[in-house]
Structure 1
């Protein structure tokens, strides 16, 4: 019961943090409309939030491998929200970039430690980790609605109101920290020092995640503009596309966790990437309202692997769980922002459809990298989560506890 409560609270807190990842892309159309930014300048805002986050997440992951830092959860949540909340104040482009970078640091500090805590609280269950990841996807999905309600009401000067989810998330983290203090002493989720790291597989997984991130961040930055062109709609049509993209991600995360109980994670992830190639092509080339269907399928295809890639990374580096989490989550949510300005420059010079076309190849590259990866044996999901009991379940449970 305590495990379920902790996962629910962590999931809700994760939603409060990832609101700010989704808010960056959701704010871009308002910056364009109110401050007349070009595509390239607008994508630079995404870059500011992504660049420091990409670099900082592995750093924070390495710190959590040395010693647990649970107080990072409430503090980083507030920092991530503060940057976005201040981004609409004043008209200075440099100041906006600075505030977005601050938000990126907060997000970077949150994810490796929260993944470590979730691993401990879930005892390695794929479904529980899926619910933890779902919280982040719900936050992504809520961001366009939250930003539209706040900013459309009073303009960018109302951005300080966006701090509210961060304050709520910091409060939600406190009961989890108290539960950790009361729990029996463990190794803090740092991994099994007796396990062997499979660095080659981890590198290939990381490269696949880079391709996935380029696709998702590129879509989340420009899909609102693209759908407006495809449907002939206004700002509402673009906001709806962004909402569908993020909501589809939430669905994909749950589906991925459930599929991992039927097939191995590598198979589920590789097939998901293969199907995503067709979905992204549909987003780029299919005109009219049907584009929303392909936006949803793209999101599901990109997010089925989300929590599975985190646990795979932890299992490929069992002695460096924090580092694995930091690198994987950092790449998944951040590195794509580094390529967004390139997409923006191409869109300014040619067309948005031309700029988005290369994204079709990215999930195909992820599939090629994933298809021959080994399924790790370091960590298996708790058999009690899928209703199996007996000696086999006891053995699996014992193996898993030793890996934590």
Structure 2
């Protein structure tokens, strides 16, 4: 124990250096958190059959989950900017653990909605403070730190459907409860991360306060830029909603694959998202975040437009390419926003994570409603145009100045 304490104190004294053990720990925690979250859409085919749900009801499940997370996150971030709360990290996992157990033994549709709202609350508590930990441990390499943090979440989102296909689909809904082990692991790890976080805050509070620097951009330009970033988040997460919630149904309906096969193909897409995430942050540090945002969203458009018109294997191949390209956007957007509004990491993280969750939830509900009235194939043909909104990236100001090139 004393050896662990001395090691933790050493990390907290490193100052401007990048604290990789903490970054990897918070990234792994993000992976565990998002494994839990990804269980929800992964078991949609099972829930649809067990409770005779419509696509619209499936969309409402996602809407309740995402809105629970999105509405709370900005307020959590605003509060923690003024009152950092290291103990909230394991508390968020406790909410998720409770929601998982409720979902495993849900008796009806209302209980399902209650279960996913608890998981959403856990996510809303986790993300703002976890983003602050990544920022504190970045050593100034904010893009890299945010990518390491995000790749954990995307790896969890990719692994969740695969685990659900292996554990839940063959044996039934009650086996969702086994994912409680993941939540318990997260609580233990986040307790140790919280101790480092608390020590780091204590060290910083004992030093003279530094004057926060930032770009010379007018308040009006900042407001317009934040609006543009939110539109880009909308385009990305509406498209991601079509993939995460309905890609399995699309493959089953169009190509007549099995549920397990469809989840494996969904895993391929989400694994590509996880792989692509790690590229966005370092590329933003080196070449500029505006360029990365531009390439990540608009660059996916040719592939999204082609996807609805191909066969099974080409569809999966294009989904992987889309995942690799589009996944780097969020890290770059989040760090770009913190550059616009320095000193407000929790508020910015809460706003953007919350908006992303909200757009994912609204997108899933709207697309489910549209699928009931048209078809899943029509939904994918419409969503293909969303990445074209990436063209508005050109209106963002260059806030980074001369790009720092690292050897």
| TM-score, scaled to structure 1 | 0.88
Q: Which runs of 5+ in 2 are unaligned?
A: 1-9, 12-18
User: 1:200 and 1:319 mapped to 2: Cα distance?
Assistant: 19
2:399 matched residue in structure 1: 376
Aligned-residue offset at 1:35: 2.2
2:280 is aligned with 1:256: yes
2:192 matched residue in structure 1: 175
Instruction: Please give the residue correspondences for 1:42-81 in structure 2 after superposition, counting only pairs within 5 Å.
Output: 42-81=58-97
- 8 Å contact kept, 1:80–1:105: yes
User: 1:41 and 1:65 mapped to 2: Cα distance?
Assistant: 36
2:102 matched residue in structure 1: 86
Instruction: Please give the residue correspondences for 1:112-261 in structure 2 after superposition, counting only pairs within 5 Å.
Output: 112-125=128-141, 126-183=143-200, 185-186=203-204, 193=212, 195=214, 198-261=222-285
Q: Which one of 327, 348, 361 corresponds to residue 385 of structure 2?
A: 361
Q: 1:321 to 1:82 in 2, by over 3 A?
A: same
Aligned-residue offset at 1:380: 8.0
Aligned-residue offset at 1:144: 0.3
How large is the RMSD of aligned CA atoms in angstroms? 2.3
1:26 matched residue in structure 2: 42
Report Cα offsets for 1:218-249 as digits up to 9, x if no partner: 21000011122333211122101210121011
1:311 matched residue in structure 2: 335
Report Cα offsets for 1:188-227 as digits up to 9, x if no partner: 9x99556476232122112211221111122100001112
**Misfit runs of 4+, over 4 Å:** 190-197, 378-381
Report Cα offsets for 1:81-100 as digits up to 9, x if no partner: 32133213133101110111
Alignment coverage as a number of residue pairs: 382
2:272 is aligned with 1:272: no
1:391 matched residue in structure 2: none
2:122 is aligned with 1:106: yes
2:325 is aligned with 1:301: yes
Structure 2 counterpart SS, 1:368? helix
Aligned-residue offset at 1:270: 0.6
Report Cα offsets for 1:66-108 as digits up to 9, x if no partner: 1111111111022123213321313310111011111111101
Structure 2 counterpart SS, 1:376? coil
User: 1:257 and 1:78 mapped to 2: Cα distance?
Assistant: 30
- 8 Å contact kept, 1:69–1:113: yes
- 8 Å contact kept, 1:77–1:106: yes
Q: Which one of 356, 360, 370 corresponds to residue 332 of structure 1?
A: 356
Aligned-residue offset at 1:358: 2.2
- 8 Å contact kept, 1:241–1:292: yes
User: 2:311 and 2:284 mapped to 1: Cα distance?
Assistant: 34
User: 2:28 and 2:211 mapped to 1: Cα distance?
Assistant: 28
User: 1:166 and 1:124 mapped to 2: Cα distance?
Assistant: 31
Q: 1:82 to 1:148 in 2, by over 3 A?
A: farther
2:337 is aligned with 1:288: no
Aligned-residue offset at 1:149: 2.2
- 8 Å contact kept, 1:17–1:81: no
Q: 1:293 to 1:191 in 2, by over 3 A?
A: farther
- 8 Å contact kept, 1:35–1:91: no
Report Cα offsets for 1:274-293 as digits up to 9, x if no partner: 12112222332222221111
2:5 matched residue in structure 1: none
Q: 1:84 to 1:286 in 2, by over 3 A?
A: farther
Report Cα offsets for 1:23-45 as digits up to 9, x if no partner: 22112111112222111111211
| TM-score, scaled to structure 2 | 0.88
User: 1:227 and 1:257 mapped to 2: Cα distance?
Assistant: 32
Q: Which runs of 5+ in 1 are unaligned?
A: 388-404
Aligned-residue offset at 1:136: 0.5
